[in-house]
Amino acid sequence: MKAPLTINELKEYVMNDPDFILEYVEKIYDVISSIEPKVRAFITLRPREEVIRDAEAVIAKIKSRTAGYLVGCLIAVKDNIITKGIRTTCASRMLQDFVPPYNATVVERLREEDAIIIGKTNMDEFAMGSTTENSAFFSTRNPWDLTRVPGGSSGGSATAVAALEATASLGSDTGGSIRAPAAYTATVGLKPSYGLVSRFGLIAYANSLEQIGPICRSVSDVAVLLDVISGFDPRDSTSIKRGRQRGFYTACMERELESEIKVAIIREMFSDGIEAPVKTIFNSVLDKLESNGFHVEEVSVPELKYALPTYYIIATAEASSNLARYDGIRYGYHIVVEGRSWYDVYSDVRSTAFGDEVKRRILVGSFVLSAGYYDEYYLRASKVRRVIRDRLLRILSSFDVIASPTMPVLPPRFGERITDPLKLYAMDVNTVPANLSGLPAISLPAGFVGNLPVGFQLMSKMFSECELLTISKFIEDLLNIAPAIPELVRHHV
Amino acid sequence: MSKNTRVKIGLEVHVQITSLRTKLFCSCPSNYRGKPPNSNVCPVCLGLPGALPVVNREAIREALKVALALNSKINKLLIFTRKHYFYPDLPKNYQISQYDGMGSLPIAKGGFIRIENDSLSKIVRIRRINIEEDPGRITYPTGSIVTSPYTLIDYNRSGVALLEIVTEPDLESPKEARIFISKLVSILEHLGVTNPELEGAVRVDANISIEGGERVEIKNIGSPKDVEKALQYEIARQSAIVKSGGSVNRETRHWDKGKGITVSSRAKELEEDYRYFPDPDLPPIPISSDLIDEVRSTLPELPGDRIKRLMSEYGLSKYLAHVVVIRSKLLADAFESAVRECGNASTIASILVNELLRWVDECGITIEEGLKRLTTKRICKLVRYLKEKKLSSKLIKEYIKKIITEDIDPDDLIGKGYVSIMDLEYLSNVIEEVFKENPKAVEDAKKNPKAINYLVGQVMKKTMGKADPQLTYELINKRLKENVC
Ligand SMILES: [Zn+2]
């Protein structure tokens, strides 16, 4: 059997023959049994029989004409998104046995539309990292080159999609965690505008920066998932009161581009740290855009040199607060408490069950929030953040999008970056501005260096996902790369 | 304590907003009392990973009422702040609170309360008012932290809305502190914000320093009376230290109600760094002047005005009006409803202040429970019987005692012949008759106390069983002893 590669294709098959879902589930599990030992995208994979039972229920709904929008879709969900009854670990020993009693809003919305959760994907512990090497359990390998990282922190979600282990997936993006692995696996990843997608049920790393978003094999698939997961949620006070119009983003796929698209290139996102082959591919995309009537112009935002330190101050400050709750008392990592003071138990639990990178960020975050340093670090970072946001918004008042390479470097080999935190953090240089400013940003497959994928990032105005997706679809069609299937699984297509 | 020791006291009063249906940031019921442990919880108030707080808008209105009543300045933005400290009753290991400074603001700053009694009238300044969440509760199986082999945590209370009202150090004696808290609680009660009769609804921390000493904080004191006791103890303790040439160090102490002493907290005296920062899950909420005006228009009559009105409208003395209003809003409500029904304001005020309060205190029941027994109807019956001279003013006291301790209607007491039972003169006459008719039994009773019972029986017979046996026994006993001489 030939596995359909996009959601629309899959839906066509399913509408012709609802029982196709069973075949599709079998197919995906066959792919998983051969590929998963090589890439290790999943922390928790649901048993095939259980998923088949879910699929049968969906088929019954199709036959009674009560089925939802995502029939047949097998969605891989990053393991920091709460799933009722399915272990949710955040790739941390702290939560290795945590089975939540409730669902994240996005998971509820997926289920309402009859998507089936296939499993929970690997990530950097508590989403802290850009390579998925910080998982407490194991690293995920890049399906394009098994000796390299898939990017992170949503490395498992991107890998599952690229390696055909799922129809599509959800990741979360705090400083590039959706876009980095999308770039490294030649998938499409969207970080929505801050407030567009409910964070209820997303295990917080840095609340003011992060959003849940889709990672898919095409822009249209991203639009379909965004339609399902976006929209106001009364349980998230930062979610924006916008009406949920069914099919709104999907409809944007049919739109024509409006006149001339203006693309801003920010010099500071395209200079020193960018590897030459990445630059070459990026430039070739720009050339194609220009010859297709896009207007490309270079601008400068000197303040962007403060983006990384600003990001790390805010992210670690929030993380140190969010992660305070893990003390081993109510849930999570448990040790014998008999005869010990709560203070000792807390210290022991937290020193044992958090990984090094998590501890490093908690320490830094506690420091920047401490009395006497708060003004100098956190408060100043909050001010710089506003300046960066204002600068980007000003650019976007005269441009449609801001383009850059998603990642400054090609996918690193294992261990290459993680040993030096500063080098690791520098990978996020082009992705963090979108989080600092709340803007939507997407990473599209732009080309390959050998067999290594390079990502093309576009940022746009707040809540202009429709325009962003329309432009992305145009570029996707123009470049004709997606859906990009790694050699490793090509025989399954 | 020497009379001229200069004392400075500031209070932090924590008041649960018991008027709310739900907790501050989730939809769990705000009334956690009497529920099985950890049954009144959800992912939000348990601080489960991924759960997010959503502000209860009603809590903001209640806080605004208080701010207006205390003449405080309301800030235009409502900002919630995380206050970090590790403690097992705090599920997130931070408390969502408010803070003055570091990019944060409390809901209101400034304001004052006037406190008064016979010899005193002064202004106590309010520093600020915060909205925050209540932690869970730690319980010790043996009741004591020292002897318990383990600790239990109940999160039913976790997330209940609290107001923290902080004063400037304007109070100069334990008594002033007590008067202040009574006045504050009365205001909150009149606003309908809290029911102070609920256990744990009002909790006070006090900061106290005596001349030449550092500030000592006393945590978790319950009632206004306890505040007075705790502060008296603390002044005596600190004065003794100073007198013996020692110095009072800055520390936190706990009030041990059972022993009536303050105890130093075991925790190391590190200067705690709460790492305050604005909660990123709760965007600032603008407080519009329209909202403030709207809340202002719903403000009820406050205790100060009510005292004045009771004096002018019903001719109550300042003392009675003050006690009726400040002791409990329920008392003032009961007073007004009874007077509306049957007039006689001063009689009713004295029934409530002199009799009801005495018996609820003695029985250890709440005023609310007391008033469920001494209802408006029953008060008016008493007033009527008093007017009809069915009851003497002495007898009234017995009636109220019976009504409150046994929940009996005055009509039942009258029906049972309680009129005569308490009428000593009448009973004495009956006993006199019985003595005359039974001289032999009287002689027997003088020798053998057990024989008194026969005489009691005779009295009961003559009164057709209406006499109180105990009282009759006592009167006969007394009469017998007189006869000896
Ligand atoms: Zn709750």
User: ipTM exceeding 0.85?
Assistant: yes
Contact assessment for residue A83 and residue B33, using Cβ atoms and an 8 Å cutoff = no
Residues of A serving a catalytic function are 78, 153, 177
Which of B50, B84, B153 is opposite residue A104, by nearest beta carbon? B50
CA distance to A235, A321, A473, per residue, from B157 (Å): 21, 22, 52
Query: Which residues of A fall within a CB distance of 8 Å from B153?
Result: 329
> How many Å apart are CA A149 and CA A159, to the nearest integer?
10
> How many Å apart are CA A418 and CA B357, to the nearest integer?
73
Query: Which residues of A fall within a CB distance of 8 Å from B86?
Result: 324, 327, 343, 346
What is the three-class DSSP state of A139? coil
B48, B87, B148, best to mutate vs chain A, most A CBs in 10 Å:
B48
Domains along the sequence of chain A with CATH: 7-255+473-490 (3.90.1300.10)
Q: Backbone phi, then psi, for B109, in 5-degree steps?
A: -130, 155
Q: Long-range contacts made by residues A249-255, C-beta under 8 angstroms, separation at least 24?
A: A249/A223, A249/A224, A249/A465, A249/A466, A249/A469, A250/A220, A250/A223, A250/A224, A252/A223, A252/A465, A252/A466, A252/A467, A252/A469, A252/A470, A252/A473, A253/A219, A253/A220, A253/A223, A253/A469, A253/A470, A253/A473, A255/A466, A255/A470
Q: What was the pLDDT predicted at B389?
A: 67
Whose CA is closest to A154, among A230, A238, A73, A42? A42
> How many Å apart are CA A372 and CA A391, to the nearest integer?
29
DSSP 8-class letter at B255? E
Which of A208, A237, A371 is opposite residue B273, by nearest beta carbon? A371
Render pLDDT for A388-429 as a digit per residue (tens, 0 to 9).
999 999 999 999 999 999 999 999 999 888 777 777 888 999
Domains along the sequence of chain B with CATH: 7-295 (no CATH), 303-415 (no CATH), 424-481 (1.10.10.410)
Touching A: B residues 12-51, CB under 8 Å: 43, 46-51
Which of B43, B84, B94 is opposite residue A102, by nearest beta carbon? B43
Q: How far is the CA of B158 from the centre of ligand 1 (A)?
A: 8
Render pLDDT for A13-69 as a digit per residue (tens, 0 to 9).
999 999 999 999 999 999 999 999 999 999 999 999 999 999 999 999 999 999 999
Q: For chain B (length 485 residues), average pLDDT per consecutive 10?
A: 74 97 98 96 98 98 98 97 95 96 90 88 96 94 78 95 97 94 96 93 94 87 87 92 87 88 71 89 97 96 95 94 93 96 93 91 88 94 82 74 87 68 75 89 86 87 72 85 63
Whether the bond between B2 and the residue before it is cis, its omega within 30 degrees of 0, is no
Check A98 against B275: CB less than 8 A apart: no
Q: What was the pLDDT predicted at B2?
A: 47
A235, A318, A331, A382, best to mutate vs chain B, most B CBs in 10 Å:
A235
Angle A445-A450-A455 (CA atoms, 0-180°, nearest 5)?
20
Check B51 against A234: CB less than 8 A apart: no
Query: Which residues of A fall within a CB distance of 8 Å from B104?
Result: none
From the CA atom positions of chain A, what is the Rg in Å?
21
Q: How far is the CA of B43 from the centre of ligand 1 (A)?
A: 6
> How many Å apart are CA A219 and CA A163, to the nearest integer?
17
Query: Which residues of A fall within a CB distance of 8 Å from B43?
Result: 100-102
Given a cut of 60, is residue A366 above it in pLDDT? yes
Q: Backbone phi, then psi, for B472, in 5-degree steps?
A: -60, -45
Q: What was the pLDDT predicted at B1?
A: 43
Check A324 against B277: CB less than 8 A apart: no
Angle B190-B194-B197 (CA atoms, 0-180°, nearest 5)?
100
Whose CA is closest to A286, among A301, A296, A277? A296
Contact assessment for residue B11 and residue B228, using Cβ atoms and an 8 Å cutoff = no
Q: What percent of chain A has pLDDT over 90?
A: 91
Render pLDDT for A235-257 as a digit per residue (tens, 0 to 9).
999 999 987 788 999 999 999 98
Whose CA is closest to B87, among B226, B221, B265? B265
> How many Å apart are CA A181 and CA A158, to the nearest integer?
6
Mean pLDDT of A425-447: 96
Q: What was the pLDDT predicted at A421?
A: 77
- A60, containing H or E segment: helix A48-63
Touching A: B residues 91-120, CB under 8 Å: 91-94, 102-103
Q: Backbone phi, then psi, for B157, in 5-degree steps?
A: -85, -15
Contact assessment for residue B25 and residue B56, using Cβ atoms and an 8 Å cutoff = yes
